[in-house]
Amino acid sequence: MSDPNQVSSKTDTLDHSPADKNEDLNMSTGVDVVRSYLTSLQNSPGVYRMVSATGKVLYVGKAKQLRKRVTSYTNLTNQSNRIRRMVSETATMEFVTTHTEAEALLLESNLIKRYAPRYNILLRDDKSFPQILVTGHHDFAQILKHRGAQKRKGEYFGPFASAWAVNETLAFLQKVFLLRTCTDAVFEARTRPCLLYQIKRCSGPCDDRVSKDAYGELVDQARAFLSGRSNSIQQDLATKMQAASDQQAYEEAAQFRDRIQALTRIQAHQDINLSGMPPTDVIAIYQDSGNYCIQIFFYRGGRNYGNRAYFPAHARDETADVVLEAFLGQFYAQTPPPGQLLLSARIPNRELVAEALGIRAERRVHIRVPTRGDKRKLVMHAETNARAALSRRMAESATQRKLLDGLGHVMQMDGAPERIEVYDNSHVSGTDAVGAMIVAGPEGFVKNAYRKFNIKGAVPTVPVDTQVSAPLSYGLSDKPQEPYSAGDDFAMMREVLTRRFSRAMKEDPDRTLGQWPDLLLIDGGLGQLNAARLVLEELGIEDIAVAGVAKGPDRNAGRERIFLPDKSPISLEARDPVLYFIQRLRDEAHRFAIGTHRKKRGKSTQKSALDEIPGIGGQRKKALLHHFGAASAVAAAGREDLSSVDGISAAMAGKIYDWFHPHG
């Protein structure tokens, strides 16, 4: 029997089906595209991109010898199915040469993060990690949580696996080292110590309760603790406690005692404490049934700063060592690498990866695979966590698949939906209105696909009947529109869906980019459902299932009714798992919509009517408010009163007056 993965030669096509012939033709075309670039390529280090006919980057790869690496794609006999599909979709290629292979590896990681190619192993969770910053621009340093680029002057400690781990450490640092956490503006404005001083969480530098030198000593101790030198700090505190006690300064001695006890407690809570170990990341990979989990632990100063699990995408056809190497490149493209990495498996290009990470860290990075001792115990601990995390993930995925199957059955679909979009609106009497879209699928909520819509009032208000008759004509107008009347949720929903699917039809008309849903869930009853149907009918979209989810009598959860087109409302049993699933989807959309609305409303309350006037910048706005006290008083002022304000000329006063009095 022939191998189904073998690519047949051109002469062996008599028994092929039309689909097989088309596939062979596509592969042949892709190989021809790749081959056309070989004559112009040199055997120098670099990065190549394989691009589809629609301009989508399919794959990003690096090579020590570009020509040799690209040549391998012209012979598909021993390639995996994934590589064959990739070559068959390739319409063009792009190349960037580099000086060294290490530079190529760094560039490859950055491009993978940027384009998220379909055929690369992808690190899905790209959120940055929080750190602790001890500022360095002020005589009395502030200690605070920091996330993002390290632009502020000072020392950064971390990363921490979660905001909770940072907050716990900050609370401890306040107890032991009494450092301020207030902003510089608050610090300068205070005339007496705040509550934190009263509860012994701050030394009170804002009111000169501690000298600059004494506070600097506290800052040095905090830096030493965060760097792993806690034993010397504890000995120093013990010496000072004894000295205060000998001088009968018992209250001061009690403060040193409390700080020692807090330091002892934090040390006792460490699961694994390796004194003298340099900053280290411990990374373990575990595989089961083609699924991978990578668990990473952060150790700084011999203490565990937490851990996080990752589940790489598109890794099913690769071996564990290849997946682990791809993870290292993408993970440290955004997170500074420490001086030491302890891995559970050897990677194919250890020296190259170490060189590339060293370039990024601007110091040497050691990559080791320990086989014994305490370091091996750390790796085994990470492996155990990776195994448990993957087991939980697979169990959750199985449960999610059952829920999707059940949801597809309830919605009378042909199969389980792969992408669900849930829509909700939020406003207060029509003001600051926003629409929200959340996305869910086989792996749960897809938060990087969430979208918010600032309602513009661009779709005419049209009554929505309980039955859909002839399609209505509407669209997004370029002319300014009046805000919707209070509570016109139907028009708002029409605007949101019109904008959403008009853009999808423009950007992904062939539905190849994964932007199209299988199921729309609308928060609301028959009216909202019909508003959504009108949009889909107007745009000529006929193959997307849509349903409305309305709360039952007295808006009680558990008594929801599901509205389907041209069907009687459905009510599920109160304990039906599918009903719980629908409630969770709706509640997530509601949470996202409410949060988005509150942010928009908060920004609106901070804006002044003066912000809208052309030519009024920060200085003039400040002068006007100082002179009149409020924007409403500025609006009521006459031309002469306005021109008496410093920085407001007669011409500018006329512009301001005319802005508030357009007809007189």
Judge whether residue 546 has pLDDT over 90.
yes
Strands laid side by side in the 92-97 sheet: 57-63, 46-51, 92-97
Instruction: Report the alpha-carbon distance of residue 611 to residue 599 in Å, rounded.
Output: 18
* Confidence band for 664, pLDDT divided at 50, 70 and 90: low
Q: What is the mean pLDDT of residues 353-377?
A: 91
* Confidence band for 8, pLDDT divided at 50, 70 and 90: very low
Identify the pLDDT of residue 383.
94
Q: What is the mean pLDDT of residues 251-265?
A: 71
Q: What is the mean pLDDT of residues 159-167?
A: 81
Return the sign of the alpha-carbon dihedral for residues 370, 371, 372, 378: positive
Q: What is the mean pLDDT of residues 26-39?
A: 84
Helical H runs in 285-336?
320-331
Judge whether residue 505 has pLDDT over 50.
yes
| Higher per-residue confidence, 6 vs 658 | 658
| Lowest-pLDDT choice from 1-15, 182-196, 411-425 | 1-15
Count of CB atoms situated within 10 Å of the CB of 547? 22
| Higher per-residue confidence, 537 vs 314 | 537
Residues 104 and 43: beta-carbon distance below 8 Å: no
Q: Domains of the chain, with CATH numbers?
A: 18-115 (3.40.1440.10), 280-393 (3.30.420.10), 411-603 (3.30.420.340), 609-660 (1.10.150.20)
Which among 15-24, 217-226, 348-357 has the top mean pLDDT? 348-357
Identify the pLDDT of residue 92.
92
* Confidence band for 469, pLDDT divided at 50, 70 and 90: very low
Helix (H) or strand (E) holding 198: helix 195-198
Identify the pLDDT of residue 15.
42
Helix (H) or strand (E) holding 240: helix 230-246
| Higher per-residue confidence, 458 vs 74 | 74
| Higher per-residue confidence, 624 vs 431 | 624
Residues 19 and 88: beta-carbon distance below 8 Å: no
SS3 115: helix
Identify the pLDDT of residue 460.
42
* Confidence band for 466, pLDDT divided at 50, 70 and 90: very low
pLDDT tens, position by position, 592-641? 988 887 877 666 555 566 777 877 877 888 788 777 777 778 888 888 88
Identify the pLDDT of residue 5.
38
